[in-house]
Amino acid sequence: MTSTAPSPDTRESQAAEGQQPSWQRRLRRFGYVARPREDVTARLVPPYTRPSPRLWTTLGLSRADADLVVRWSAWAGPLLITLVAGVMRFWNLGSPRDVIFDETYYAKDAWGLIHRGYEVNWPDKINDDVLRQGSDIALPHDAAYVVHPPVGKYVIGLGEWLFGFNPFGWRFMTAVLGTLSVLMLCRIGRRLFRSTFLGCLAGALLAMDGLHFVMSRTALLDQVLMFFVLAAFGCFLIDRDRARERLAAALPADEDGLVRPDPYIAETVRLGWRPWRWAAGLCLGLAFGTKWNGLYVMVFLCLMTVFWDVGARRVAGAVRPYRAVLRRDVLPAFVSTVPVALATYVVSWLGWILSPSDGSGGYYRDWAATQGRGGNWTWLPDWVRSLWHYEHAVYEFHVGLSSPHTYQSNPWSWIVDGRPVSYFYESPRPGKHGCPADTTEKCAREVLALGTPLLWWVGACALLYVLWRWGLRRDWRAGAILCGVLAGYLPWFFYQERTIFYFYAVVFVPFLCLAVAMLIGAILGPPGSGERRRVAGAAASGVVVLLIFWNFIYFWPIYTGTAIPIDSWRSRMWLDTWV
């Protein structure tokens, strides 16, 4: 009696069928076909999307030329958008030639900081003298009590050191950082969405946001904070890709050359040196050293990157990814970010630390030697105890700040542009300060910190979309965008009794633009969509983007302090709360 052994192909087919879930085997009789096996590398590090070949055919480009265009557009597109953003932000940057809103604090603090190493106490009503004398003004010696760390003021002071103590000088660096943040967001969006088009779209939306634009032309700390937060997010994003590339390289390949999951490797492999996390820690320390709400951002982003590691090890085949991350990744992640951030924060106080401790240095610099004698901590250096006392005093100030202000607002209203802040306003007569001579009434000149309304209102819908994508589709990109928004937005809900302002929202504006770009990408349609679907999606998304750009142009006069007839100004006050 003879028997015929099955062929190797038959055995492999039977083995593959036996490995399939029972419900898949039962559905085969109805025509069900299991998804083809895929390379895990494509899931760990997805490739960048490429335009349809039909586009190159329509443009008459060969394959080689098309590859060259795709390669160059990864940088050419972001740089072109950045150039446009920079021209807008630097155009007539010194206007209004005035000390507007909180520039009265930070511009003068920055000037004292770069010359004395600490902030000085300026006389009241000295702004006119500052504008008239500029860099020749006499610098006070008495230390001033300030409630924000020094990094942002050092950044503003760099522009003053380069161009003098004048409006252009103290606004220069915020304009630089505002322009560079557009470039960063283009590249971050490209890496996040694996699409040069969507990355450039996110950057263009940021370039056309009124709040980001006004903050780029004003010497306030929040724009500096936004820059370092976005830079930290970008560093974490690059680290995510680098770590997943190493993880994919460590996994075995099967006989077909496909990289397959491996539970043992996924749970035990170490991902090695991760310099981008150290860079992120540095950026977080600079953010924290600009304003204290950078500390909340550090907590959110550090937790986010830990969950990214969990997701990577799960895709690689880890059965217990959380345990693997706790054993292999959490401690290195902590060491490379939190201590680096805290050390950066302390170093940012170096000018204050090195100032004299005999009462002629920074505010509270002599506290340990005078009022802080005795106690259990005298073994610490005096500068440490004095700095800690200063920080505690600042904390008490912030939590107790409740002085009413005309332009204060509740964070619930921020996402819909409920209460913008007027930085500057004057009513020039006809023929004066740019007011047309043939105008029958006075003109209005205003700098209003107002996000481009259509962008923010579409952004409110986009946040609901990314929330759905993350909550029900487990889309990590949506989760990353939500994390960035919540890091800059959510903490303010714990201080609703405190005096807070809408322009604090500039910290999460880049992530709002990413959310809108993701929504527009969904409107365009996924890869492989039919021609009719693509045309309809392109038309709808094109209308939305053009309306946002038009909206920014329409509000241009009240972003730049351009004199316009009072009726034109009134037509731009869409809500009563904007006045």
| The pLDDT of residue 275 is above 80 | yes
| The pLDDT of residue 16 is above 50 | no
pLDDT, tens digit, 9 for 90 and up, residues 400-415: 777 889 999 999 999 9
Return the closest-CA partner of residue 421 out of 225, 226, 222, 230: 222
pLDDT value of position 121: 95
The residues, any chain, with a CB within 8 Å of residue 222's CB and separated by 6 or more, are 215, 291, 503, 504, 506, 507
pLDDT, tens digit, 9 for 90 and up, residues 465-506: 999 999 999 999 999 999 999 999 999 998 888 889 999 999
User: What percentage of the chain exceeds 90 in pLDDT?
Assistant: 77
Q: What is the mean pLDDT of residues 110-119?
A: 96
Q: What is the pTM of this model?
A: 0.92
In sign, the C-alpha dihedral spanning 355, 358, 359, 364 is: positive
Answer for the pair 438, 430: CB distance below 8 angstroms, yes or no: yes
Highest-scoring range by mean pLDDT, 26-30, 53-57, 225-229: 225-229
What's the start-to-end Cα distance of the chain, in Å?
99
Q: Which residue has the tokens 């890869």?
A: 527
Question: Which stretches of 329-381 are DSSP H helices?
Answer: 330-347, 350-353, 367-370
pLDDT value of position 534: 86
pLDDT, averaged across the chain:
91
More confident residue, 17 or 560: 560
Q: Which residues pair with 447 in a beta bridge?
A: 424
